[in-house]
A and B are shown apart, each in its own frame.
Chain A
Amino acid sequence: MMISQFFVLSQRGDNIVFRDYRAEVPKGSTETFFRKVKFWKEDGNAEAPPIFNVDGVNYFHVKVVGLYFVATTRVNVSPSLVLELLQRIARVIKDYLGVLNEDSFRKNFVLVYELLDEVIDFGYVQTTSTEVLKSYVFNEPIVVAPTRLQPIDPAAIFTQGAKRMPGTAVTKSVVANDPGGRRREEIFVDIIEKISVTFSSSGYILTSEIDGTIQMKSYLSGNPEIRLALNEDLNIGRGGRSVYDYRSSSGSGVILDDCNFHESVRLDSFDSDRTLSLVPPDGEFPVMNYRMTQEFKPPFHVNTLIEEAGRLKAEVIIKIRAEFPSDIVANTIIVQMPLPNYTSRASFELEPGAAGQRTDFKESSKMLEWGLKKIVGGAEHTLRAKLTFSQEFHGNITKEAGPVSMTFTIPMYNVSKLQVKYLQIAKKSSSYNPYRWVRYVTQANSYVARI
C-alpha cells in the first residue's frame, strides 16, 4: 500500500515536481514513464492504460489538465487506491492554487512540495484533506489568472454565460483572502449530471444513463453544520415499491439505481426525510455520486439521413431538436459524424439566418463537425452536407458512416429531476447569512445516434 515516487510531468515530459519517498526505483523512472506513454503500442491499443509495469516497476498515472500525475511502486498495491490518490492530490493542489495548470504549478512548486510532504510520508498516505493540510502548510499561493476553462472542473461552465454566477468561485484558492483581507462567506452546491444516451437507427432509445454528482465547495468560516434536503420522493435501488408510489404531486418520483457518499456525510435522517447532514471540509468534494437508468426525456432529438445522390455523391441531413423548455439555453453544442473514408470533399448548407454556427470537414479523420454556440429550448436546427467521393461506393452507405455524436452543456437544467430542496446552515447568529449557490448543469457524456 505504499508508493515509491510521485511526480508530475508536463505534456512535453518535463519534470514539474518530483518526490522520491522510498529510494527503491532506479533513476530515470520519469524518462521511462514518458517514453512508454508517448510511444505506447501494445495489443492494438493506441493509448497507454493508466497502469503498466516496466522492469518490475509499476507506473500509475492520471491525466489532469494535460499534466501527468504519476506514482511508481514495486509493491503489488491496490490499483484504485493509487489512482484515487493521484486524483485527490490533483484536487488538493487545485484547492490551494485556485487554478490548476502548468503555469500555476511552476509558480507554486515549493508550495506543492510542502503539500506532498504532508500528504505522503515514506510512501504511506497520511491525509488528503485540504482542511487538515491547512494547518501544516505555510507557503502562500501565488495566484495565476485563469487563462481558459479548466476541464478538471465541470462547474467551470458557470464562469461563462449565466451572469448571476460568481465566476471567481471555482478558481479561488481555499486559503487566499479577497482583496481587503476579508473572506466572503459563501457556499456552492453544484448538481452536475452527465448523460449517456444511445439512439438506435430508428430513433428509439437503446441505452440511457445519468451519472450525477452533488459537488460542494465551501468557503464558510467556523465549519458550521449543513443540512441538504433532497426530493422527498427520492428512492434508491430498483424494484422497490417506488415506481407505483405517487406520494408527491410532481409525479412518479426520482429513482436512483445507486449512490455513494463522501465520508463527511451523515445519513441519520436520510431514510426518513431525505436529508443529508455534514460539516463540509474545506475545498471541493463530491457530497454524493449517483447513477440512474430510470427513463428520462433526452434533451435533444437527433435525426440523420444519408442518401446516395449519383455515382460519386451523397447527401447528409442532420436535424436536431431541443426538447427542453424555452427558458433554458444549451451552449457549446458540437455534433460530429464520421463520413465514409473515401469522402474527398464536403460542402455545407446551413438553414437561412443561422447565427453562431460553424461547420467543418476534417479531411484527415473524415469527420464532419457542426458547432452551435447555443440552442434555445424548443428550437430545431438542420444541417445539409453534400459529399463528394473519390471512388464509387458499393454496398450500404449507412454502414460506412456515423454514428452521430453530440456534446453539449445545459446550465440550470437537470434531466433526473433530483433537486436540492433547501440548504440549511446551522449557525446561531441571526445576522449570519452567507451566500448560497445551488446550481444545476447537464452535460453530454456519450450522446450517440446511430444511422
Chain B
Amino acid sequence: MSPPATSQRYPSPSQPSGKSEVTDLKSQLRQLAGSRAPGVDDSKRDLFKKVISYMTIGIDVSSVFGEMVMCSATSDIVLKKMCYLYVGNYAKGNPDLSLLTINFLQRDCKDEDPMIRGLALRSLCSLRVPNLVEYLVGPLGSGLKDNNSYVRTIAVTGVLKLYHISASTCIDADFPATLKSLMLHDSDAQVVANCLSALQEIWSLEASHSEEACREKESLLTKPVIYYFLNRIKEFNEWAQCLILELAVKYVPSDSNDIFDIMNLLEDRLQHANGAVVLATVRVFLQLTLSMADVHQQVYERIKSPLLTLVSSGSPEQSYAILSHLHLLVVRAPYIFAADYKHFYCQYNEPSYVKKLKLEMLTAVANESNTYEIVTELCEYAANVDIAIARESIRAVGKIALQQYDVNAIVDRLLQFLEMEKDYVTAETLVLVKDLLRKYPQWSHDCISVVGGISSKNIQEPKGKAALIWMLGEYAQDMSDAPYILENLIENWEEEHSAEVRLHLLTAAMKCFFKRAPETQKALGLALAAGIADFHQDVHDRALFYYRVLQYDVQVAERVVSPPKQAVSVFADTQSSEIKDRIFDEFNSLSVIYQKPSYMFTDKEHRGPFEFSDELGNIPITPEASSDIVPAQQFEANDKDLLLSTDQKDDNKGLINNNGSAYTAPSYESSSNTITSQMQELAISGPGTSTTTPQSSFGFDDIFGLGLSAAPAPTPSPPLLKLNPRAALEPAAFQQKWRQLPISLTQEYNVNPQGIAALTVPQSLIKHMQSHSIHCIASGGQSPNFKFFFFAQKESEPSNYLAECIINSSSAKAQIKLKADEQSTSQAFATVFETALSKFGMP
C-alpha cells in the first residue's frame, strides 16, 4: 500500500516521512515519563495517539516500547487503553521488553476497579509471548473467579488465548474443567457463551490426541446440555444465539418428539431481524427434518418468507449472503419456489453479483406454468446496458429451453436475439442454438434457416464463431452455401487467432466433405494443409490425424468424424450431486457462497463449525459402508462423458471403434501441395459413401439405463423372501459382483406422487428402503434423474441381491435392473423391492 496521502486537515496520521518522527516521539515520551506536572496526562494522550496512528498506517514504532511502558504508570483509563493496545501489538516482537509490562499489568489485574482488572487481564493474555505464560496462570485463575462478570468474560477468552500460546500450560492448570463448570453454572450469558466457544475450540484441537477431549467434545452434544442452552436462548445476545444454534445443528435428536420440541423452541428465531440468527435457525430446521420428507418440505415453505424479507431489508452485501442461501434451496427444491419467481427478477440498480444469482434462480424455478413470464423478463435483460448480465440472461434463456418447457416459443425468442444484431448477443445465442440442436435435432430446419443468414464476418467471439462453424459442418446438407462459407473462413486461416475456432473449422470441413464431397474437396484440402502447418499443437495433431484417417479409409474416417448423431437428453451439471449434498450439509457457511464444499478452500484446522460433521458426514451416500468408491468412479465417468463438447465426443467414439487398426503414416515432411493432390484422389475414390451400420450408442445407454432390457426370467409363484436387516457388503465387493453377474431382471415401475414429492430429499428413499432391509450402497444424480444402487441379503444365507434403480421424477417412473447370486429367486426379490418402493412416501 502506498503511504496515505493525508492532507494537513488530519492532525493524527501525519506524513510518515521516516525515522525522525519516531525519534522525536521517543524523546518527548521520555520527558513526560517521569513528570507529575498537572496536565501531563493530556500531553501523553496526544503523544500516544500519534504513536497509535503510526502503528495503524503500518509504520514500525516498536522502538518506543520502553518509553511507552514507562509512561503507562497512570490512572487515566484512556491512556491505559492506548498503552495496552500498543503493547499488545508489539509484545510478540519484543519478548524481552514485554517482561517490563508484566509488572504493571499484574498489578492492574488486582485493581479495585473491575474495568481496569478486565482490561489488564485482556492485555496480559494478548501478549503472545511463550516464555511469559507462567505469569498468566495466576491472574487467569482469579479472573475466572472474579465477582464481576466483565472480568470473568475476559478471563474465559483469556484461557483460550493461553491455550494458543501454550496448550500444555492451559491443560495442566485444568482450565477447561473450570470453563465447563462456569458454562453450566454462571449467571452471566456472555460468560457462558465465551465458555462455549472457548471449549469448542480447545476440545476440537485436543481431540486429535486426547480421548478425554473427544468425550468432552461429544458431551456438549448431549440432550441436557443442548436443552440447557436452547431453553434460555433468549437470554443471550444475537451473536451468542448463533453460536448456540451452530451447536444445536450437530445434535442428533432421540426421536421425532425431540425434533418437534426443538423446532417449537426455535420457531420465533425465524422472525429475528439479524440474518445470521435466521440462517442458523434455518439450518437447524433443515438438518433436523432430513429424515422426515413431509416435514422437511413444510420447513421449506416456512422459511421462504423470512428469507425473502431479509433479502430485501438489508444492505446489498447482506442480501447477497442471504440470497446465496436461497439460491441453494431453490436449486434443491425448485417447485417449492416456482410461484415466487417474481422475487428473483433483477432490479436495474442491483450489483452484478446479485443479478447473477437471481438469473440462476430464475432458471431453476422455470416450469410449465411460469416459463413464459420468466423468459419474457429475461429477454428484457438481454438488451441490458450491462453486457455481462445481458450475456447471462441469454444463457439463462437457453438453459430454460434445455429444460424442455415450451421449447417452441423459446426457440422463437432465441432467433429474435439473432435479429438484434448485437455482437455479443449473436455470439451467445449461437452457442445456445448449437446446444439446443444437440438436444432437439428436430428443430434444425427452423434454426438453420435463420443461422444460415448470419454472416460469419459479424461474429468476433470465438465461442460464437465456433458454434456457427459446428452448425455449418453438422447441417451442411441443409445450408446450401455451407461449403463456400467454410472455404471462405479457411482461406482466412492465418487471421483466425483462436485455436478453438481453427479446430472446429477442421472438423466442420471434414463433416461437410462427407456430405457434399465435390463442393468441399478444395476447402478440406486447404484446411488440412493449413492445419498441419499450424503452430498450435492440438490443431496440428488433429489435422494430421484427419489426414491419416482419410488416407487409410474414407469410410472409416466418416465413422470417426461424423457418426450418426444421438440427441443429448441431459446436459451434465457441472457439479455432482455428492458435492451439492456436501454444500447443503454446510449450510450457513462460506461453502454456500463459493458453491464449493469446505475442503476445497480451507485447510483442515480452519473448517470451523464443521469439525464435528466432518467425521460423521464423510460418507453422505453410504450410511453404513466405509467408503464410497463405487459412486465416485461411476459418476465421474458419467460426468466426463456428458461434459465432452460435441466434437470431442465424436472423435472419442471413433477412436474407440477403431482401436487397434493400424494407420499408415504419411511422412511428416509432406508439403501442403502433395496433401492437396492426395486429397483430390481420395475424394474421387470414395465420395459420399455413407456407413450403413448404425453406431452403437456408447455412453448414453449405460448412463440412463434406456433399452437393454433382458427378458425377465419367469419364476413360478415365488416363495416369500426374507431379507437380512443387517446385511453388509463392502463397496468393492459390490462393484465386483455388479461387474460379474448378468442382469437377471429388468423392470419398470410407476412411483406414486407422494414418493416423487419425498424424493426432494433423495436420502429419504435410502432410509425408507433400509426399513425394508434393502440397503443403499451408492446414490447420485439430481432432479429429475436419480440413481441408486441397492443391495440385500437373504436372512438365512449369504446370498446377495444387487439392484440399480433409476428414478425419473418428472415421468414418475423407476427403472430397475436386478442381479442376484441365485438367479432363481430374483423374481421374489423383485416383488419385495416393488412392494417396498410402492410404499415410499406413504405415511
Contacts and interface: CB of A to CB of B under 8 A. Distances in A.
Interface stretch (A122-130, A247-255, A410-418): A122-130
Interface stretch (A183-191, A206-214, A217-225, A294-302): A206-214
A286 interface: yes
B246 A45 contact: no
Chain B binding surface SS class: helix
B56 A17 contact: yes
A56 B602 contact: yes
Interface in A78-113: 78-81, 83-87, 103, 106-107, 109-110, 113
Interface stretch (A7-15, A308-316, A375-383): A7-15
B97 interface: no
B9 A117 contact: no
B409 interface: no
A198 B346 CA distance: 10
Interface stretch (B19-27, B313-321, B795-803): B313-321
B49 A84 contact: no
Interface stretch (B77-85, B442-450, B528-536): B77-85
Contacts of A127: 190, 237, 239
A46 B389 CA distance: 10
Given A56-B601, A106-B13, A400-B383, A15 B58 contact: yes
A23 interface: yes
B349 A446 contact: yes
B124 to A, nearest CB: 13
B78 A1 contact: no
A172 B12 CA distance: 23
A46 B279 contact: no
A106 B12 contact: yes
Contacts of B318: 62, 80, 83-84, 87
Interface string B119-156: 00010000010000000000000000000001001100
Nearest to B342: A207
A14 B128 CA distance: 27
B695 to A, nearest CB: 37
A263 interface: yes
A31 interface: yes
B590 A51 contact: yes
Nearest to B586: A76
Chain A binding surface SS class: mixed
Interface in B169-204: 190, 194, 197
Contacts of B387: 44
A87 B317 contact: yes
A122 B82 CA distance: 18
Given A49-B320, A394-B421, A76 B606 contact: yes
Interface string A48-86: 011101001010011100000000001111111101111
B321 A53 contact: no
B510 to A, nearest CB: 33
Given A87-B317, A403-B348, A446-B349, A76 B310 contact: no
B313 A213 contact: yes
Contacts of A209: 312
Contact of B607 (A76, A207, A399, A405): A76
Interface stretch (B267-275, B643-651, B805-813): B267-275
A371 interface: no
A289 interface: yes
Given A44-B388, A50-B321, A53-B601, A448 B56 contact: no
Interface size class of A (residues with CB under 8 A): 35 or more
A80 B608 contact: no
A159 interface: no
A61 B598 CA distance: 20
Contacts of A80: 275-276, 279, 318, 321-322, 325, 588
B140 to A, nearest CB: 13
Most buried by B among A53, A84, A107, A450: A84
A16 interface: yes
A84 B345 contact: no
A14 B57 contact: yes
A139 interface: yes
Interface in B582-626: 586, 588-594, 598, 601-603, 606-610
A44 B391 contact: yes
Interface stretch (B36-44, B301-309, B657-665, B834-842): B301-309
Given A34-B1, A79-B592, A399-B383, A113 B312 contact: no
A110 B46 CA distance: 11
B575 interface: no
Contact of B308 (A110, A126, A138, A291): A291
A73 to B, nearest CB: 8
Nearest to A20: B89
Contact of A10 (B4, B392, B606): B4
A192 B738 CA distance: 65
Contacts of B280: 78, 81
Interface string B215-259: 000000000000000000000011100110010000000000000
Interface residues of B, number: 105
Interface string A1-35: 11000000010111111101001000000110010
A47 B609 CA distance: 30
B742 interface: no
A338 B590 CA distance: 37
A146 to B, nearest CB: 16
Contacts of A206: 377
A273 interface: no
Contacts of A107: 10, 12
A78 B242 contact: yes
Contact of A78 (B48, B122, B276): B276
B265 to A, nearest CB: 16
Interface in B779-828: none
A84 B318 CA distance: 7
Contact of A44 (B10, B317, B325, B392): B392
A1 B190 contact: no
A278 to B, nearest CB: 12
A262 interface: yes
B301 to A, nearest CB: 12
Given A15-B4, A45-B352, A109-B53, A291 B309 contact: yes
B325 to A, nearest CB: 8
Interface in B341-387: 342, 345, 347-353, 356, 377, 380, 383, 385, 387
A77 B4 CA distance: 32
A76 B317 contact: no
A45 B322 contact: no
Contacts of A61: 317
Interface string B46-83: 00110011001110000000000000000001100110
B589 A78 contact: yes
Given A10-B4, A84-B275, A207-B342, A117 B81 contact: yes
A335 to B, nearest CB: 13
A1 B246 contact: yes
A136 interface: yes
Contacts of A44: 352, 387-388, 391-392
A196 interface: yes
Interface string A269-296: 0000000000000000010111100000
Interface string B414-456: 0000011100000000000000000000000000000000000
Nearest to A152: B315
Contact of B194 (A45, A49, A124): A124
Contacts of A263: 237-238, 272-274
A400 to B, nearest CB: 7
A337 to B, nearest CB: 11
Contacts of A261: 271-273
Given A77-B609, A289-B309, 8 more contacts: A20-B89, A34-B1, A44-B352, A49-B593, A80-B279, A85-B276, A106-B6, A138-B81
5 contacts: A47-B351, A49-B593, A211-B313, A260-B310, A395-B419
3 tightest A-B contacts by CB? A44-B388, A14-B4, A446-B347
